[in-house]
Each structure stands twice: as structure tokens, then as C-alpha cells.
């Protein structure tokens, strides 16, 4: 994926200072998983419109479909600019998880 970003640009930067790093099933993914990384300070990825990135979501998908519901939920949450900021500024893992759960329920 890093090579692809170097070749075609920061396609993993989706907006609102969020990047979606991902792995395909044929790259050795064993189970659907998602990981969140907050960056302090935020890091430029080369996206004029959405830099700097403050939140990286890493997604590992086992097939073409199993992750679609998860992606849809995340998109709904991250469409709100203040949600990205609040998640990025969370001080602990527990706070991040609590905020994410609250945002899912809204």
C-alpha cells in the first residue's frame, strides 16, 4: 500500500483528516479487524484538501463484503468534523472507545 501511495498519491486520505489504510484478503488477512491510530501532532500525507491526518483507520478484510457494514457505520460517524476532532484528541484508549460507542448510538 505504501508503494501505491507513492505511485498514485494519497488515495487513502478520505477526508476530514482521516486516512484509511487497508489490507486485502490475499495479503494474509485471517479475520476482519479494525484498528485506530491517533496522530499527535497530525501528519501531512500529501493531500492538499484533507491534510494533515490526525486519525488512521487500519482495516483488514477477509473478503469483498464482510467489512461493508463496518465501513458504512464508520462513514456515518466520521462525516461529522467534530467527531474526528474529538476522537483524535482522546487522551486514552478507554476514552476513545467510549466516544466511539457514544457516536454509534447517536
Provide the pLDDT for residue 2.
Answer: 65
The arithmetic mean of pLDDT across residues 6-11, rounded, is 75
Give the residue extent of every domain in the chain: 2-105
List, for residues 30-88, the tens digit of each pLDDT value: 888 899 999 999 999 999 999 999 999 999 888 888 888 888 999 999 988 799 999 99
Regarding beta strands 18-23 and 53-60, do their DSSP bridges make them parallel or antiparallel, or are they unpaired?
A: parallel
- pTM of structure: 0.84
Provide the pLDDT for residue 81.
Answer: 75
β-bridge partners, 23 = 60
d(CA 68, CA 93): 24
Q: Which of 22, 35, 67, 83 is catalytic?
A: 22
CATH of 2-105, one of 3.90.110.10, 3.60.21.10, 3.40.190.80, 3.40.930.10: 3.40.930.10
Residue 105 has pLDDT above 70, yes or no: yes
Provide the pLDDT for residue 20.
Answer: 93
Asked about 83 being catalytic, the answer comes back as: no
Provide the pLDDT for residue 73.
Answer: 92
The residue among 5 and 68 whose pLDDT is bigger is 68
Burial label, 4 (beta-carbon count in 10 A; 0-12, 13-18, 19+): exposed
Amino acid at each position: 500500500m505504501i508503494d501505491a501511495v507513492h505511485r498514485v498519491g494519497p488515495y487513502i486520505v478520505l477526508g476530514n483528516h482521516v486516512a484509511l489504510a487497508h489490507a486485502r484478503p490475499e495479503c494474509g488477512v485471517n479475520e476482519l479487524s479494525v484498528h485506530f491510530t491517533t496522530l499527535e501532532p497530525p501528519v501531512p500525507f500529501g493531500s492538499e484538501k484533507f491534510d494533515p491526518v490526525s486519525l488512521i483507520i487500519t482495516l483488514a478484510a477477509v473478503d469483498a463484503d464482510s467489512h461493508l457494514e463496518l465501513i458504512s457505520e464508520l462513514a456515518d460517524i466520521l462525516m461529522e468534523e467534530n467527531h474526528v476532532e474529538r476522537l483524535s484528541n482522546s487522551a486514552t484508549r478507554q476514552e476513545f472507545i467510549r466516544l466511539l460507542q457514544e457516536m454509534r448510538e447517536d
